[in-house]
Structures are given as structure tokens and as C-alpha cells.
Amino acid sequence: MAAWSNGAGSGDGVAVATRLRDHSHFAVRVATSVGVAVLAILLSVGLAGCAAGKPPVVPSDDDAKVAVTVRVVDNSFEPSEITIDAGQAVNWVFEGPSSEHDVVADDGSFVSELMRSGSYTHVFTDAGSFDYLCSTHPEMRGNVTVE
């Protein structure tokens, strides 16, 4: 009688241990899928962030009379801060020499292609303070103040 009880008892014990093992397996699987889901969300947010990082290119005003020229060199805009009057044009001359750069306004109002040579011109019709950067070298920053 006692032996039968012990047998049944240990049998239950094995069953409980098996259930626990299954349960922890399940927990690991859930944790893994949650991890993968979170990673997927982070990745898509990151990619969306990149896609939204550079606004569409704004065509260069090539025919405009240039008031101020800014050199785009590795890795700065020279001069980085300029002041013009409304209606005047700024001409950025890309000199590289080692990297491609672009001119990207924070508000998207002027945006060039990535270039190693050539130039980009933008006419500023409205007064204001326009910050811009190079999309591949965010430490390259400049400002155009339009009076």
C-alpha cells in the first residue's frame, strides 16, 4: 500500500516536472518571439527614420544671380553663417575633395543632391533663419539668415 502510494507520488512528481519543463520552454519561446517582434519594430522605425531623414531634392536655381558663395569642403561649410537680403541667391560650390556632401535645409526648403563637384544655387524669397546640414556628415552645419 505504502509502496503503491510512493509510486503514484513519484509518478506525479515526474509529471509535474515535465509540465514545468514544458512551461519554461514555452516561456523561452514567448520571450524570443517578443524579442524578435520588438527588434522588428525598432528596425522599421529606424528605417522609416532614415527614409524621412532627407527630404526630396529641390531643383537648383541655376540661372539666378549669385549674391554669396559658400564652399562645401571636407567637412565644413565656409563660411558656415551668412546673411543675405530676401530675393538673393546663395551658391554652394562643392569641392570635396574626399567625400560627397549635400546641402539639406532643416525645413526642406532647399535640398541638393549628394555631390563631390559642381554647385547648387537657391533663391531665398522669404526672410527668416534657415539652418542646414550635410545629410552624411551631420556635424557639417550652416545657417542662412535672410533679412
Q: Which three cell numbers stand for residue 131?
A: 539652418
137 forms part of the interface with Cu ion (CB under 5 A): yes
Q: Of 82, 84, 89, nearest to 60 (Cα)?
A: 89
Site stretch for Cu ion (CB under 5 A), options 2-10, 35-43, 76-84, 98-106: 98-106
**Total residues interacting with Cu ion, rule: CB under 5 A:** 5
Site stretch for Cu ion (CB under 5 A), options 10-18, 28-36, 76-84, 137-145: 137-145
122 forms part of the interface with Cu ion (CB under 5 A): no
**Which DSSP category does 60 fall into?**
P
Amino acid at residue number 11: G
- Count the neighbouring beta carbons within 10 Å of the beta carbon of residue 71: 12
Q: Which three cell numbers stand for residue 141?
A: 552645419
134 forms part of the interface with Cu ion (CB under 5 A): yes
Contacts of 24 (CB under 8 A, 6+ apart): none
Q: What are phi and psi of 50, to 5 degrees?
A: -65, -45
Beta carbons of 142 and 70 less than 8 angstroms apart: yes
Q: Which of 70, 88, 101, 115 binds Cu ion (CB under 5 A)?
A: 101
Q: In this complex, which beta carbon is closest to Cu ion, that of residue 69 or of residue 99?
A: 99
141 forms part of the interface with Cu ion (CB under 5 A): no
Site stretch for Cu ion (CB under 5 A), options 63-71, 83-91, 94-102, 123-131: 94-102
Which residues of this protein are in contact with Cu ion, per CB under 5 A?
A: 101, 134, 136-137, 140
